[in-house]
Amino acid sequence: MATLAPVSDIALTPAAAARVAAIAARQNKPAILRLSVEGGGCSGFQYKFGFADAPEAADVVVETDGVRLVVDDISLDLVRGASVDYIESLGGASFKVDNPNAASGCGCGTSFSV
């Protein structure tokens, strides 16, 4: 069964929660954003975002404004203490992970090393 994460484990900002809710409503899906970490990218690991129908048994869940962020327990070890935000700028809009465990990252912000 999925477990509710302590606030210090992972966070979803209100801006990110609002964006997830808007996308989920347009796609008629539950407002559940999945963050996972995979090997690859230009720095060694890369963030992967997607929508989930429901949390899985090994997931850790955090909720902000009715929107859930789910992270598998293996990925959580690499992003513990991070926050997921949604940023809009002249250069575009994207989800951004502020990860205190990352020793370095790439210019586009989608990959990191520890």
Domains of the chain: 10-98 (2.60.300.12)
Query: Mean pLDDT in the chain?
Result: 84
Q: How far apart are CA 44 and CA 56, in angstroms?
A: 26
Tell me the sheet residues that pair with 71: 35, 60
Q: What is the pTM of this model?
A: 0.81
Which whole number is the average pLDDT over 66-71? Answer: 96
CA distance 95 to 38: 16
pLDDT greater than 60 at residue 114: no
